[in-house]
Structure 1
Amino acid sequence: MSTNPQVETVSSGADKAKLAAAAALMVGGVVAFYLLGQKDLWLRVVALLALLAAAVAVFFTSESGRQLIAFGQDSVRETKKVVWPARKEAMQMTLYVFGFVVLMALFLWLTDKTLEWLLYSLILDMRP
């Protein structure tokens, strides 16, 4: 019998406000891009990028943003622990995979042609 620990997520009002502000800034950037339609393109792009950068900055100050950063750091740490194969071993395994793919393609082609011959030539008496 295994017991599953209960996962509790606690979000404060300030954290929800930060997420709402980040969403509002992101939507505001898109809206500003289209409202500035009569202005130069560089101004529209700068406004969009500035508001999107502000949205990202506000998001990363929230608890969800900090958890995302921690997840990324943990992922990098785990990737550094991986024991990568040597070049020779990687080349051998790649050749094995390519060989298997070619064999499977040949098998599926032969199966398809055999079924086609059975259905059209023998059963339905239709010559292609």
Structure 2
Amino acid sequence: MLVSNESQDTNTILDKLKWCLALVLIAFVVWGNFYFAEPNDIYQPNTIVRIIAVVVISLLTLLIAITTNKGKSFLLFLQESRKELRKVVWPTRKETAQTTLLVAAITLIVGLALWGMDSVFRSIIFYLTSIGR
């Protein structure tokens, strides 16, 4: 199915308008949150109204963003990611504990080996340069 250039242009213009509206709403939320803020009064009625307004306008902004082409492709990506995540075989608790202990043990061994090599090289350098005497 071929889509005409006119409908693509309209779609992109509409998408741009939606993104601009979303940005304006975000700016409005930020401005309103600071403008109506009351210092040190978290339990005041104004604060509750402000929180509700921020949540409602944020949800509206999210709904507007989801209706754009990029928003729809993002939702599709999330759905496909969830399907792939269901296919993952997660390790058991025992396997996770064993792997964690193995990584900790190897880290300790490598750390001790590096500390030992550093001490040997330090002793050699001190002996050759007579700094340690």
TM-score range, shorter chain: 0.7 to 0.9
Determine the structure 2 residue equivalent to 1:3. none
More divergent stretch after superposition (81-90 vs 41-50): 81-90
Determine the structure 2 residue equivalent to 1:24. 24
Q: Relative to structure 1, is the Cα distance of residues 43 and 126 closer, same or farther in structure 2, using a 3 angstrom cutoff? A: farther
Q: Which amino acid aligns with 2:113?
A: F
Equivalent of 1:43 in 40, 49, 61 = 49
Determine the structure 1 residue equivalent to 2:122. 116
Deviation at 1:88, TM superposition (A): 4.3
Deviation at 1:76, TM superposition (A): 1.0
Aligned-residue Cα RMSD (Å) equals 2.5
Query: Which structure has more RCO (C-alpha within 8 Å, separation ≥ 6)?
Result: 2
Q: How high is the TM-score relative to the length of structure 1?
A: 0.74
Equivalent of 1:127 in 112, 124, 132 = 132
Q: Which segments of 5 or more consecutive residues in structure 1 lack a partner in the other structure?
A: 1-9
Q: Relative to structure 1, is the Cα distance of residues 115 and 50 closer, same or farther in structure 2, using a 3 angstrom cutoff? A: farther
Report % sequence identity: 25
Equivalent of 1:59 in 58, 65, 68 = 65
Q: Relative to structure 1, is the Cα distance of residues 53 and 100 closer, same or farther in structure 2, using a 3 angstrom cutoff? A: same
Q: Relative to structure 1, is the Cα distance of residues 42 and 86 closer, same or farther in structure 2, using a 3 angstrom cutoff? A: closer
Q: How high is the TM-score relative to the length of structure 2?
A: 0.72
Q: How many residues align?
A: 118
Q: Which amino acid aligns with 2:131?
A: M
Distance 1:87 1:43 in 2: 45
Determine the structure 2 residue equivalent to 1:15. 15
Q: Relative to structure 1, is the Cα distance of residues 115 and 42 closer, same or farther in structure 2, using a 3 angstrom cutoff? A: farther
